[in-house]
């Protein structure tokens, strides 16, 4: 019951902290913005607004929690093993086999042996040629391209050299603190957002009035008559073959290969007595519960931080910039 109440109080504390953080985040979204090391206020400000840098002190609260003084442990009680004597039939010599070899049987057979291999030779019949005339292209038909250059004209146009922008400027401001004095102003950290207009200049450029083009001229092909030697009947080869020469011979051949047979030798047994463990040694576990106590400590709910806050200071008058001198 005590643990359930403790968990219930922790859940309520967490819900309270989450609600406080959510309320602070909502307030910061509309009135103040966290400081992240930047040199100027955030970019969400509008032109003419003033923002100051404030320090928010840390906040603490007391929390009670349950601490384990002695962890849970256990002890063991040893239960000895139980033994009994039993008889058992043991194999003294296992079953085996003895190998008996049967020799191979041989005989003679006749076969054809090649004394001289088959051979062949070729006879050449020369080719027949004759002279013929034909037209040959000396230079193929082709085209020649002539380029006509392009023409250009000059025109003027406007170019934006610098776009409109806003710039932060430091102002003298003494922002008031909050009602309960939780925040204080950082001296020299007040800024105002000022608008600077865009800048243009006139430039000239070359524009193509008429593009470059090409004119093609066709040059016909050139021919000449040549005489060349043409093969009327190609060279031929006639193959002459001489058959191989064989003779009959005898050789020794294995009629029945070598084999083996096996003779079985039975196994031998004897009866022996031995001590057998009926129930092995075991341990009985005894649980010792853990011990707890409640302790209090200070917890930081929110650390010290800086924020940008919009103030009601008077912004400087609009600044007139000389764009030609920048």
Q: Which of 99, 105, 321, 127 is closest to 236 using CA atoms?
A: 127
Measured from the Cβ of residue 308, the count of other Cβ atoms closer than 10 Å reads 23
Question: What pLDDT sits at residue 282?
Answer: 87
Residue 316 backbone zone (phi > 0: left; psi -120 to 50: alpha; other: beta): beta
How far apart are alpha carbons 290 and 5 in whole angstroms?
20
Q: Which of 150, 140, 149, 141 is closest to 217 using CA atoms?
A: 141
* Contacts with 10 (C-beta within 8 Å, 6 or more apart), sequence order: none
| 8 Å CB contact between 185 and 52 | yes
Is the alpha carbon torsion for 252, 255, 257, 259 positive or negative? negative
3-class secondary structure, 21: helix
pLDDT in tens, the chain (326 residues): 445 555 555 554 455 444 444 444 434 444 678 888 777 776 677 777 787 888 888 888 888 888 888 888 888 888 888 888 888 888 888 888 888 888 888 888 888 888 888 888 788 888 888 888 888 888 888 888 888 888 888 888 888 888 888 887 777 765 544 444 444 454 556 777 778 888 888 888 888 888 888 888 888 888 888 888 888 888 888 888 888 888 888 888 888 888 888 888 888 888 888 888 888 988 888 888 888 888 888 888 888 888 888 877 654 444 333 333 33
Question: What pLDDT sits at residue 207?
Answer: 86
C-alpha dist (Å) from residue 290 to 67, 72, 74, 90? 11, 4, 10, 55
User: For 143-156, how does the pLDDT look when each residue is reduced to its tens digit (9 = 90+)?
Assistant: 888 888 888 888 88
Mean pLDDT, the chain, integer? 77
How far apart are alpha carbons 36 and 28 in whole angstroms?
14
pTM value? 0.27
| 8 Å CB contact between 106 and 320 | no
Please give the sequence-ordered ranges of beta strands (E in DSSP) within 7-139, or none if there are none.
Answer: 32-34, 50-56, 59-70, 73-79, 82-93, 96-102, 105-116, 119-125, 128-139
Question: What pLDDT sits at residue 179?
Answer: 41
Give percent above pLDDT 70 in the chain: 80
Residues in the chain: 326
For the chain, the domains span 31-311
Question: What pLDDT sits at residue 175?
Answer: 52
């Amino acid at each position: 019951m005590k643990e359930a109440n403790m968990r219930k109080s922790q859940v309520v504390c967490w819900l309270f902290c989450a609600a406080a953080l959510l309320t602070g985040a909502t307030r910061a979204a509309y009135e103040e913005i966290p400081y992240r090391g930047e040199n100027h206020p955030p970019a969400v400000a509008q032109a003419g607004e003033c923002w100051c840098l404030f320090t928010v002190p840390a906040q603490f609260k007391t929390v009670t929690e349950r601490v384990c003084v002695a962890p849970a442990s256990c002890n063991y009680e040893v239960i000895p093993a139980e033994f009994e004597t039993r008889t058992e039939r043991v194999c003294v010599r296992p079953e085996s086999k003895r190998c008996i070899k049967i020799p191979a049987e041989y005989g003679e057979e006749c076969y054809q042996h090649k004394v001289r291999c088959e051979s062949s030779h070729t006879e050449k019949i020369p080719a027949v040629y004759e002279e013929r005339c034909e037209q040959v292209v000396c230079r193929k038909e082709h085209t020649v391209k002539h380029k006509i250059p392009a023409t250009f004209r000059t025109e003027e146009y406007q170019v934006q050299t610098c776009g409109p922008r806003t710039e932060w400027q430091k102002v003298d401001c003494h922002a008031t603190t909050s009602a309960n004095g939780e925040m204080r102003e950082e001296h020299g950290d007040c800024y105002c957002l000022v608008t600077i207009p865009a800048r243009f200049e006139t430039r000239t450029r070359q524009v193509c009035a008429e593009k470059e083009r090409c004119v093609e001229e066709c040059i016909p092909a050139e021919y000449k008559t040549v005489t060349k030697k043409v093969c009327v009947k190609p060279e031929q080869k006639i193959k002459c073959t001489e058959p191989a020469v064989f003779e009959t011979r005898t050789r020794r051949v294995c009629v029945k290969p070598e084999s083996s047979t096996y003779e079985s030798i039975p196994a031998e047994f004897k009866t022996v007595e031995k001590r057998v463990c009926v129930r092995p040694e075991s341990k009985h576990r005894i649980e010792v519960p853990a011990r707890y106590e409640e302790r209090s400590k200070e917890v930081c709910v929110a650390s010290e931080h800086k924020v940008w806050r919009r103030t009601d200071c008077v912004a400087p008058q609009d600044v007139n910039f000389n764009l030609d001198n920048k």
